[in-house]
A and B are shown apart, each in its own frame.
Chain A
C-alpha cells in the first residue's frame, strides 16, 4: 500500500469520524428539543381514571386539611380514581395558571382568582359545569349567590371552593383586662382603640407585606357604605369609586389609624405574622376569615376568641347588619377535560362528592362553613371559635352581601382597593388620594 493511498484512507476515515460526530451532535440537539416538547405536553393525561387538582397553597394535603379530607374520603369511596393534588403559594400559583393557559397545559381542576377565571372563560379555556351541576339535582343544594358570581361568557365556569366568611376575631380576655366591651358601632371601636393604644396594646392585627389583600373586614365596610347598591354603576362607569359615601368610610379608617388601632410595622409584616401576633395574645382583634378558625382554636388564646362581623356606622348607607358570607374564589375545570370521557366522569364524581352533604361535613369538621344549604352537625360545629362564627351568621336580622367587593372587579381594581385601604391605615395617603387611586381602575366591563 503506497503512502499516498494510506494518507487518503486516513483522511477519509477522519472525514467519516467528523461526519459521525456532527450527526451525533445534531441528534443530541434534536433529542433535547424532542424531550422538551414531550415534557411540555406531559401534563396531558393518557386517559386513566384520575385527574390533577392544583391548589393555591403549598403542600395542600398538609396545609389545607379540609380539601385533603375531602380528597381522602373521595378516593376511599372511588378507589379507581386517583387525584394528584399539587399546590404552591398563591402568587406563584396564579402565575403558573396564566402560563399554563397560554400553553394549553392547564391542570384538570384548579383554584384560581375570579378575575383570571373570567379571562380564561372568555378565551374558551374552561369547561361549562352546568351539566355536572344538574346531575342528581346538585344545583338545588347551592344558594343562588354561591354560583351567580361564577357565571359568565355564557357558561357556569366555576364552583365555590369554600365560603368566604370574613370579619374580626377578638380576644375576650384582653377586652376584659381593660374593662372594655365588644364594640357595636364604629365610635365604640375607636374608643376601644384609644384605650388599648394608651396601654401599648395593638387593637387590630394587620399585615400588608405580600398580603395586601388582607383587608377583608374593611371590604365588608364598603358594603355598609352602599357598595352593593352602587355596584352596577361602578362597573358600567356611571358611578365613581370617588364618591361621598366611600369618602366617609375612608375618613373613618383614617380616624381609626389616628386612634392608634394598627401596628406600626403593618407594612413589613405579613398576614401570617399578624395571625401569629393575635394567636400569641399580642393584639385584641384580627382581620381574617373562617379559614383561620381551626388554627385559632388550637392556639394559646383559643378559648378566649370570638368572632365579630365588624362595626355599624351611623352615617352608613343601607343595612348595617351585614356579615360577609359570600363565595370565595372558584374551582374551575380545564376545557380539555371535556374531551376525555374517563377524566370527565372522574371530575364529575369529584364535584358531586365535594358538594354532597358528606363533603360539606368534612369542611365543617375542618372549621369551614358549608357552601351549600347543608346544616352543620358534629363535635367540630360545637367548638367555640367555629360556633361563634355560625352564631354571627345566624344572628337575627343580619344578612350577607352577594359577593365580596374585590371579587367582582378586575385584578388591577382589586389591588388598587387593597392598597388604598392599607395606604390610609399606614397614614401614607389621605382618604381623597386613596379614592382617586382606585376610581380610574374600575372601568366598564371590569
Chain B
C-alpha cells in the first residue's frame, strides 16, 4: 500500500474540492459582502456608498415586517416541528401495524418541490377558491383570509412549512432512535422503568445530539423559505406577507437594486448563523449545568 501523506500530496488531493468550494461558496459570499457596500444596479459600475444600504435597511419598514414574519414562522416551526417529529418517530419506532406506510406518507412532502407544495396549498388556502373556505361556506360561515390578508399569512406559511418539513426531521429522529444501544433500554426495563420514564430519562438524554442537529436544520431552513411565499402570495398584499428571502429577491431582481439586495442577503446569512450558533451555545450551557 502506498500512503499519500506528504504535505504537497494532501494539498494536491484537496485542491479540486477546495477550488470548487472557493468558486461556488467563498467567492459568492465575499462578492455579496463587497456589493452590500455599493450602489449597484447590476449593469453599471458599482459605486462605493459605505454603510448606506445598512442604514436604509434600518429605516425600511418592509424589511422589519419581513423579519417579523420570518421570526413568527421560526418560532412556530421550532416549537412544533422538533417535538412533533420526535413524538411521531417514537410512535413509529414501536411495533405498530403499517408503520412503514405511515413513515412513507409523512415523509412524502419532503420529496416534493417546494414550488409544487405552494401550488397545492394555494388551492386549499385561497380565500375565494380554496377548499377550506369552500367547506366553511357550505356550512354557512365566511372563512378568513388564510393567505393574502394582513395577518394570517405568516401563520399559514408556518403551517405549510411544518407539513413540508416534519417528515424529513422525523426521518432523522427515527434513524437516531434505531441507533440507540439496545442493552441500555433492556437494562432500564429490568430496573422497572415505565415507557414514559424510559423516554424521559434514557431516550431523550441520549438523543441530545440529534435534537441539536434537527433544531439547527429547522432554523436554517426557515431562513431559506422563499418558494412557499412566492407561490402562496407573491409577498402581497404590498409585501405584508414577505419573508426575508422573498423580500431580498424582490429588491435584487425586480427593483434591480443589487447593492441593497446584497446587504439584505448578508443580514439574512448573519441572522441564520447567529440564531443557530446562539441555540447551540445555549444547549451546551444547558448540558453543562
The residues of A with any CB-CB pair to B shorter than 8 Å are: 14, 18, 22, 25, 29, 91, 94-95, 98-99, 101-102, 115-116, 119-120, 122-123, 125, 208-210, 212, 263-269, 411-412, 415, 419-420, 422-423, 426, 428-429, 437
Asked if B238 and A429 sit within 8 Å, CB to CB, the answer is: yes
What are some 20 contacts across the A-B interface (CB < 8 A)?
A14-B2, A18-B9, A22-B12, A91-B254, A95-B253, A98-B256, A101-B43, A116-B43, A209-B233, A209-B234, A209-B236, A264-B127, A265-B129, A265-B148, A267-B148, A269-B128, A422-B236, A426-B237, A428-B150, A428-B240
Sample of 20 more A-B contacts, CB < 8 Å, known A18-B4, A209-B234, A429-B238:
A18-B2, A98-B42, A98-B256, A115-B256, A116-B256, A119-B41, A119-B44, A122-B44, A209-B148, A212-B236, A265-B148, A267-B149, A267-B236, A267-B237, A268-B128, A268-B236, A415-B254, A422-B238, A426-B238, A428-B240
User: Within the assembled complex, what's the spacing in Å between the Cα atoms of A305 and B42?
Assistant: 43
CB contact under 8 A between A411 and B256, given known A120-B43, A265-B129:
yes
Residues of B close to A212: CB separation below 8 A: 234, 236
Residues of A close to B238: CB separation below 8 A: 419-420, 422-423, 426, 428-429, 437
User: Within the assembled complex, what's the spacing in Å between the Cα atoms of A194 and B150?
Assistant: 25
Asked if A102 and B42 sit within 8 Å, CB to CB, the answer is: yes
Residues of B close to A265: CB separation below 8 A: 126-129, 148
Asked if B237 and A423 sit within 8 Å, CB to CB, the answer is: yes
The prevalent SS among residues of B at the interface is: loop
Q: Which of B179-230 contact A (CB under 8 A)?
A: none
User: Within the assembled complex, what's the spacing in Å between the Cα atoms of A63 and B107?
Assistant: 38
Q: Pick from A125, A208, A411, A429: contact of B254, CB below 8 A.
A: A411
Least CB distance, B255 to chain A, in whole angstroms? 5
Asked if B236 and A99 sit within 8 Å, CB to CB, the answer is: no
Asked if B43 and A268 sit within 8 Å, CB to CB, the answer is: no
Asked if A268 and B147 sit within 8 Å, CB to CB, the answer is: yes
Output the nearest chain B residue to A270 by Cβ-Cβ distance.
Answer: B234
Least CB distance, A400 to chain B, in whole angstroms? 28
> Interface 1/0s, chain B 1-24, versus A by CB < 8 A?
010100001001001100100000
B266 CB within 8 Å of chain A: no
Asked if B148 and A268 sit within 8 Å, CB to CB, the answer is: yes
User: Within the assembled complex, what's the spacing in Å between the Cα atoms of A235 and B19?
Assistant: 48
The 5 A-B residue pairs with the shortest CB-CB distance, nearest first, are A265-B128, A267-B148, A268-B148, A98-B42, A209-B234
Residues of B close to A95: CB separation below 8 A: 253
B232 CB within 8 Å of chain A: yes
Residues of A close to B16: CB separation below 8 A: 25, 29
Residues of A close to B255: CB separation below 8 A: 411-412, 415
B122 CB within 8 Å of chain A: yes
Q: Pick from B4, B9, B234, B257: contact of A208, CB below 8 A.
A: B234
